[in-house]
Structures are given as C-alpha cells and as structure tokens.
Structure 1
Amino acid sequence: MSGSQRVAILTGGSGGLVPGIAEQLAHAGFTIVLTARGETALDAAAARLRDSVDTPVVAIASDARDATATKALAETVVDRFGRIDVLVNAAASSTPIGGAIEDVDIDALIADVDVKVGGYLRYAQAVVPAMKRQGAGHIVNIGGLTGRSSDTLSGLRNAAVAHLTKVLSDQLGRFRISVNVVNPGIVRTPHLNELFAEMAKERDVTAKDIEAEFVHDIPTGEILSPAQVGQFIAFLANAQSPSITGQSLTIDGGYSRGVYL
C-alpha cells in the first residue's frame, strides 16, 4: 500500500470504546490499525470492523507494558503503510481501584497506572519519530472523568494522563503534532451494562432503574454511544493544524458540572 492514505493506530483495540472510535476514523478515510494484548479478541474486533467499513483494517498485537513491543508495533506500521498520522491511546484496565484506604492494594494500583499512563507514554514514544519525519500528527489520549473527582482512587491515573498530555503537547507542538486528552462521560459499552447490573443487584432494583437515574442526571438526557465519542476524535484527527493541543476535552452530554476556565 502507498503511504498516501492516512493511518490511525488505536490501542486497547479489542473492546470497550475503541471499535466505535475506529469505525468513525475509518469512515473519515483512515487505515485502521487495532492493537491490544489478546490476539483472539483483537482479531475478532478487527473482523467485525471490516464488515462495516471500506478502508483497510489490520490487527497487530502489542503490550502497553512493554516498550520493545510498542516500538515494534510502530516500526511494523511504518514498514507496511509508510506513515502514522494518528495515535488513539485507550489501553487500560476496566476495574476501578478504591475502597477504604487501609485496604487498597497498592501493587494493583501501580500496575493499573503502568498500563494506562506508562502505556500511553510508551506508545507515544513509539509513534513520535514517524510523526516528526512527516511534520504532522495527532495523539488523542482517552482519559476519564474520575480524574476530576475523589470518588475512586484509581482516578489518579486520569489526572496523570492529563498532565502527561500537557507535557507532550509542550514538546511536540513545534513539530506540528497535537496532543489532547478526551474524557468520555457515560458511554454505552458492555462494561457499563455490567456496572448497571451490579448496582441493581446491590440495591435490589432493575438495571433499567439504575440507568434511568443516570440518564436523569445527564442534561442531554441520553447515554452516549462509542460512535459519538469517535466522531469527536475524528474531528481532532482531521484538523489541518495543531492549534487545538494540550487540552483536556470532555464529551459527556453535560454530565460533569465543574467549571474549568
């Protein structure tokens, strides 16, 4: 394949938000590279995506915890496609860490941060050389609203992602590489459905009752879809200049009530 078609790498590519984001980037004309640790789930996600888009979709396994693996991924993509235009960092554990401070598993917390924060940095390190050679690129880090509250201790990883994003934007802006963090609100994923079911069981109500409570607190009155998050990321990925960079951007239907100046 020629190096003329833009290429997007999406980490954490086997599930959650990522397939929906990837679909929107594919509709915007990007060749899609999905990556994650588990090859079976990754291949299945890529196969499903190929059924719904016209652009090439490939699956290449890599581990966010392994700098050698993330570098090898980037090298493989450049060898095959000639370029890397977009990195969407989304590899993370879906299990929150919290509870009484005396009971917190610190090793699990550090491992969680290593996957998300360390992983985001490793993938950024891997793709930046190609983006610098091109003189352009976009990095989008998926954060989370838990970084803006004290509800869950593992939210500190999202605060760290926001800090990492700002540092990277400072260093990479002169190379016309934008770096932003996108904080999704309540998004319809299998994990969300599992959370509603768990909460319903604890309170002896139905999952629909729990969902209705959340919807009531969202000004737009709807739970977001992964496609809506993907449309926003596709907007950032299509920007012709890096003028939007270093920002912590939220797409949540107005769910978060903080005022950030």
Structure 2
Amino acid sequence: MDLNLKGKVAVVTGGSLGIGRAVTEALAAEGVRVAIVARSQGPLEAAAREIEAQTGVEILAVPADVSSTEQVESMMARVAEHFGRIDILVNGAAHPGGLVRTEIEHANPEGLLEDINIKVVGYMRCAKFASAYMKNNGFGRIINIGGLTGRGSKQLSGMRNVAICHLTKTLSDQLGPHGITVNVIHPGVVETPHIHELYAKEAKIQGLTPGEVEANYAKVTPIRRVLQPNEIADTVVFLASERAGAITGESIAIDGGITRGVFL
C-alpha cells in the first residue's frame, strides 16, 4: 500500500529508544525525514547515525527537554528551518510507566507533577509549535503515545494518559479544519528495555522470577504474547499517512486484546 509519505518531515519525541526508535525506523523506511528529540545528546546522535545508515534517509538529532516551552519552540524552529516543513508529530517523550506507581500513602506529589508536565503539558507544547507549521501546508498528523494505565485504576500516574485523551480530542476539533488529524494510541505490554525493568520490580513484589512475570502477562493477553515495538510503529505510520485522513480524535489500544473493557 502506498502511504504517500515519501518526502514528508516528522518530529518524534523520545525517538532514540524503544517505541520511539521503532517509529522513527518505520517512518524513515517510508521515506520520511525524521527529527528525533530527547534530552541526552550522545545516545540521540548515535541513534540518528544508526537509523540513517540503515534506511538511507536523513535523521536529524535535536536535543531538547519537552518540559521547557523555550526549548520546544526552539527545537521546532530548528527542524522547520533545516527541513523546510513539519508534517508529522509523534509525541512519545515521557517517563516509562510513570513516576507514581505506589499507594497514596507513599505517592510523591512532585513526581506526579513531573509526569504531567512532561507527558501532558510536554505533548501540548510540541503540538502548539508543530501545528503552526502544519497549518502553513494545510496538512498535519499528530499521534500521541498514551498508555493503558489510563483505562484502569492501578496507578496514579495513569491520570496523565486520561489527560492526553482529552488533549487529543480537543486538538482534533481545533486543528481538523486545517487538515490536521490528532489521535492517541495506547500500547500494551511491549518488548522494550523498560519492560524488563518492570518485570524485575514485579518479580520482587510477587515472589516470582522476571520470566514468570512475563509469562503471566502473556497468559492474560488474548494473542498470548508480548507485543513488539514495530507493531506499535506500524499503526503510527498508518495514522501519519494520507490514507488515515478520516480518523481523528480517536483513542486506539494496540495491546493484543489485554484491555477487556468495551469502549464505544
């Protein structure tokens, strides 16, 4: 299927690791020039070089902290100046799993504020400045990476994912007349470096081995396995394409069926 993505320009925050890196690789494979954004300059530049060598498409490393409005504005301006346009934004910069995963008596309010500042307000900052360039072209795609903790009550940090759904729907209303769609996806249990840290933590709590924790996740997932990062990336690439022009304001789980709720 021709997604008509060749020559477009994307900004991927959190683009050097895990799901963000898989998204960057998948977009580049379609001919999209990508600016990857993260705070750590060394790993960011190394990832850019590796992906560029792998795909033959230009990857620009732009260090920035999405909790800073000034840095986000400067980063978007640099990308637009370098590539001449911005067509796609994939918001993925966040603390994996959130900083507040404990009971209320142990919960750190400052950690929750940091979670929200980076993942909710950070997404808004990026959308604010990227959409200004998208409006000039009459085309844009914003894909927000949420999380399944927003659909349950296990973690206080999950409230950031609920807020992202509201942000997504609101922006889809505001930006739709300009040819810009906005959607949020909720990855399930995905094979990333972070997930192995989670297995280790859960193993200590449950008195199991990390391998047993992973097996238990797979056991309660209808497809009976953990997802791969490229499976998340494939959906992002489709939503970023012209073919997905009628999909906006939606909240889509890519979770192998682990979510048991019925969402209309």
* TM-score, normalised by the number of residues in structure 1: 0.95
Q: How large is the RMSD of aligned CA atoms in angstroms?
A: 1.4
- The farther-off stretch of 88-97 and 166-175 is 88-97
Q: Which amino acid aligns with 1:174?
A: P
Q: Does 2:82 align with 1:80?
A: yes
For 2:54 and 2:252, how far apart are their aligned partners in 1? 28
User: How far does residue 240 in structure 1 lie from its aligned partner after superposition?
Assistant: 4.2
Name the counterpart of 2:72.
70
- For residues 88-146 of structure 1, give each alpha carbon's deviation from its aligned partner in whole angstroms, at most 9, with x where no partner exists: 00011124403232332112111110000000000011111110000000000000000
Question: Which of residues 44, 50, 55 is equivalent to 2:52?
Answer: 50
| 8 A Cα contact 1:176 1:241, kept in partner | no
Identity level (%)? 41
Q: Which amino acid aligns with 2:223?
A: T
Name the counterpart of 1:122.
125
| 8 A Cα contact 1:71 1:126, kept in partner | yes
SS of 1:87's equivalent?
Answer: strand
For 1:62 and 1:227, how far apart are their aligned partners in 2? 25
Q: Does 2:139 align with 1:136?
A: yes
Q: Which amino acid aligns with 2:202?
A: M
- For residues 183-218 of structure 1, give each alpha carbon's deviation from its aligned partner in whole angstroms, at most 9, with x where no partner exists: 001100001011112222333432221111111111
| 8 A Cα contact 1:185 1:224, kept in partner | yes
Question: Which of residues 221, 225, 243 is equivalent to 2:246?
Answer: 243
Q: Does 2:160 align with 1:154?
A: no
Q: How does 1:172-187 map to 2 (within 5 A)?
A: 172-187=175-190
Question: Which of residues 253, 257, 262 is equivalent to 1:254?
Answer: 257
SS of 1:257's equivalent?
Answer: coil
User: How far does residue 86 in structure 1 lie from its aligned partner after superposition?
Assistant: 0.4
Name the counterpart of 1:38.
40
* TM-score, normalised by the number of residues in structure 2: 0.94
- The farther-off stretch of 45-54 and 155-164 is 45-54
Unaligned runs of 5+ in 2: 1-5
| 8 A Cα contact 1:6 1:85, kept in partner | yes
Q: How many residues align?
A: 258
| 8 A Cα contact 1:50 1:56, kept in partner | yes
For 2:47 and 2:205, how far apart are their aligned partners in 1? 32
| 8 A Cα contact 2:238 2:244, kept in partner | no
SS of 2:10's equivalent?
Answer: strand
For 1:228 and 1:82, how far apart are their aligned partners in 2? 30
Q: Does 2:97 align with 1:97?
A: no
SS of 1:198's equivalent?
Answer: helix
